[in-house]
């Protein structure tokens, strides 16, 4: 599959399906292009599905060291290369920065945005401060232990009932090189100002797990209030990886949202 030279790096992507409309899948910090194995087979029946490795993840390379700051530009260069004028974006956790920031810069190029377990890209300073405090508390947990996996990655029910799929999640994540954030980076970098979100003009669906230990549902709900015309759907017993934990529910909610946007 192709590797696209982009400014300051190389972007690995896969392109499946031949639908008239496209979807880009933007993974989180625990994933890569393979994370969407429970989504692509379904959505590629109707849509052109583009999965990527963000630079510094999977097979993508970050020569410039820009890291997450370059994600929206990488997406723009990829869409230009593929000749895609407008796309939907399904963004998970860290990928929310890619999705929301790209939508803020290029709303005419996004026909729908799904923000799954994420508020990243929403430029609310108070919200960011609460997030930093929460993440500082999480840092006290041993990142190699089972408590970390349960608290940060999945919900309690999933951890109990699907240890084999939790193991697969861990294996996919282990294929990534160590995360290396740019020097001086903060989560506010490049986020869309709240004033701009009031006039975004892009249909946005926030999906939030009620057991999300990484991005608590209260933070996602607060972010959603800033995005005009958006809505939030809360999912009981779901943790930080709704797309992985409850794929049938996730896919159905996203499908229904897309049908609503397209007037199907």
At which residue do the structure tokens 């699907």 appear? Answer: 162
User: For residue range 164-207, what is the model confidence (pLDDT) as tens digits?
Assistant: 999 999 899 888 888 776 565 566 677 899 989 989 999 999 99
Determine the pLDDT at residue 259: 98
Candidate from 42-51, 53-62, 109-118, 138-147 with smallest mean pLDDT? 138-147
User: For residue range 79-92, what is the model confidence (pLDDT) as tens digits?
Assistant: 999 999 999 999 99
Tokens representing 112? 């729908």
Q: What length does the chain have?
A: 264
Candidate from 148-152, 229-233, 254-258 with smallest mean pLDDT? 148-152
Tokens representing 32? 């890569």
d(CA 219, CA 131): 7
Give bridge partners of residue 91 from the DSSP assignment: 26, 115
d(CA 117, CA 93): 5
Is the distance from CB of 78 to CB of 2 less than 8 angstroms? no
d(CA 214, CA 239): 8
Determine the pLDDT at residue 141: 54
pLDDT over 50 (residue 41): yes
d(CA 148, CA 77): 36
Residue 85's contacts (CB-CB under 8 Å, 6 or more residues apart) are 79, 109
In terms of CATH, what superfamily is 3-262? Answer: Alpha/Beta hydrolase fold, catalytic domain (3.40.50.1820)
d(CA 73, CA 154): 30
pLDDT over 60 (residue 145): no
Give bridge partners of residue 9 from the DSSP assignment: 6, 62
d(CA 185, CA 59): 23
State residue 11 phi and psi, 5-degree precision: -115, 120
How many CB atoms lie under 10 A from the CB of residue 196? 14
How many CB atoms lie under 10 A from the CB of residue 165? 17
Determine the pLDDT at residue 148: 47
d(CA 116, CA 129): 20
Is the distance from CB of 201 to CB of 261 less than 8 angstroms? no
pTM (global) more than 0.85: yes
């Amino acid at each position: 599959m192709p590797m696209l030279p982009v400014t300051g790096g190389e972007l690995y992507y896969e392109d499946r399906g031949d639908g008239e409309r496209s979807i880009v899948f933007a993974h989180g910090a625990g994933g890569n292009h393979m994370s969407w194995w429970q989504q692509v087979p379904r959505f590629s029946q109707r849509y052109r599905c583009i999965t990527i490795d963000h630079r510094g993840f999977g097979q993508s390379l970050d020569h410039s060291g820009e890291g997450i700051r370059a994600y929206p530009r990488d997406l723009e260069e990829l869409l230009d290369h593929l000749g895609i004028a407008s796309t939907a974006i399904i963004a998970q956790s860290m990928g929310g920065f890619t999705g929301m920031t790209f939508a803020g810069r290029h709303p005419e190029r996004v026909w729908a945005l799904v923000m799954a377990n994420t508020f990243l890209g929403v430029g609310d300073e108070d919200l960011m401060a609460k997030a930093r405090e929460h993440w500082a508390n999480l840092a006290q947990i041993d990142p190699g232990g089972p408590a970390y996996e349960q608290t940060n990655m999945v919900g309690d029910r999933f951890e109990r009932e699907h240890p084999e799929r939790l193991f697969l999640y861990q294996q996919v994540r282990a294929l990534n090189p160590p995360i290396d954030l740019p020097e001086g980076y903060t989560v506010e970098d490049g986020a869309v100002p709240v004033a701009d979100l009031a006039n975004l003009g892009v249909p946005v669906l926030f999906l939030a797990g009620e057991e999300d230990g990484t991005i608590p549902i209260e933070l996602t709900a607060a972010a959603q209030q800033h995005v005009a015309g958006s809505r939030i759907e809360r999912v009981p017993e779901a943790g930080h990886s709704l797309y992985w934990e409850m794929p049938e529910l996730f896919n159905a909610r996203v499908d229904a949202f897309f049908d609503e946007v397209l007037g199907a």
